[in-house]
């Protein structure tokens, strides 16, 4: 756990930093992903929730075996039904709220987003400089290609980000990273239950943060693309998230200035 302040020499305020690992058919990567959490960060972790979204492989078994042999505070939940990408996150964030975490970090079990950067993504939250922090692969666009991002995703990411920034008057370098950390108090202000259970959830949660005027920071992260299988229908995803962004504009208007803290 992370000591953030000492008051009157006796009262210590401790930040409960939790990690939500969303997993689906990740038996070959989940152990290596968890092993990439920096050793010097382990003592700052209050809890790790691995939520296996009804995988068809041995993800839960591998995660449970790792938990028994590790010194990490891991709890594994095997979902009885497939909740979907957004639904699995909603389960995890509700868990964080109910278990009184202060900060929740989202990590994907396939290892695509670097656990090595967990300290950097948490720091603005611990220091009360942001309510949400996004790891961006596009702050250095050439590095995204060097890291193996397919060219069609590289181009599509930038086009969609440009359009969403224009619609909302923001200046995100990337709307579509899955590496994120939130203050749990910020999540409590969102109507998470009304958000999508699918992949558009990531855009909808950004729009919710904008609607509730919360502070957002981006940090640069490296790109890792391996053999993971994408379950996203690109055309349908683009249509859905642009519609969500336009609906946000119609409902809330346009912000006078960007919510991004650089």
What pLDDT, in 10s, does the model give residues 55-88? 999 999 999 999 999 999 999 999 999 999 999 9
Pairwise CA distance, residues 111 & 204, whole Å = 23
Domain residue spans of the chain: 2-261
Residue 226 tokens, joined: 């391996």
CB atoms within 10 A of CB 99: 15
Q: What's the confidence (pLDDT) of residue 226?
A: 59
| Beta bridge partners of residue 135, listed in sequence order | 219
Domain 2-261: CATH architecture, name and number where available: Alpha-Beta Complex (3.90)
* Lowest-confidence segment of 17-31, 136-150, 161-175 by average pLDDT: 136-150
The reported pLDDT for the residue numbered 227 is 53
For residue 6, what pLDDT is reported? 37
- pLDDT of amino acid 231: 64
Q: What is the pTM of this model?
A: 0.91
- Mean pLDDT across the stretch 163-183? 96
b/e per residue, 117-154, with b = 16+ CB within 10 A? bbeebbbbbbeeebbbbbbbbbebbeebbebebeeebb
**Predicted pLDDT at 233:** 73
pLDDT of residue 202 exceeding 70, the answer is yes
Read off φ and ψ for residue 228, nearest 5 degrees. Answer: -65, 145
Q: Output the CA torsion sign for 48, 49, 51, 56.
A: positive
More confident residue, 13 or 258: 258
pLDDT in tens, 113-129: 999 999 999 999 999 99
Decide if pLDDT at 2 tops 50: no
């Amino acid at each position: 756990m992370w000591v953030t302040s000492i008051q009157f020499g006796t009262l210590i305020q401790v930040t409960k930093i939790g990690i939500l690992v969303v997993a689906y058919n990740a038996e070959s990567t989940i152990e290596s992903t968890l092993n990439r959490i920096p050793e010097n960060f382990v003592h700052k972790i209050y809890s790790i929730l691995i939520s296996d979204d009804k995988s068809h492989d041995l993800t839960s078994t591998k995660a449970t075996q790792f938990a028994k042999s590790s010194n990490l505070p891991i709890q594994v939940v095997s979902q009885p039904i497939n909740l979907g990408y957004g639904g699995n996150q909603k389960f995890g964030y509700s868990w964080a709220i109910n278990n009184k975490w202060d900060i929740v970090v989202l990590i994907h079990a396939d290892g695509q987003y670097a656990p090595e950067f967990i300290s950097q993504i948490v720091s603005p939250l611990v220091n009360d400089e942001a309510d949400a922090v996004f790891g961006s692969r596009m702050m250095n666009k050439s590095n995204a290609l060097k890291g193996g991002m397919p060219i069609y995703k590289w181009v599509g990411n930038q086009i969609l980000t440009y359009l969403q920034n224009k619609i909302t008057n923001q200046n995100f370098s990337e709307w579509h990273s899955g590496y994120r950390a939130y203050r749990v108090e910020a999540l409590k202000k969102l109507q998470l239950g009304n958000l999508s259970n699918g992949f558009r959830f990531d855009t909808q949660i950004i729009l919710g943060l904008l609607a509730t005027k919360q502070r957002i920071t981006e940090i640069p992260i490296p790109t890792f693309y391996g053999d993971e299988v994408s379950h996203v229908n690109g055309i349908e995803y683009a249509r859905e998230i642009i519609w969500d962004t336009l609906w946000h504009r119609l409902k809330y208007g346009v912000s006078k200035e960007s919510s991004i803290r650089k």
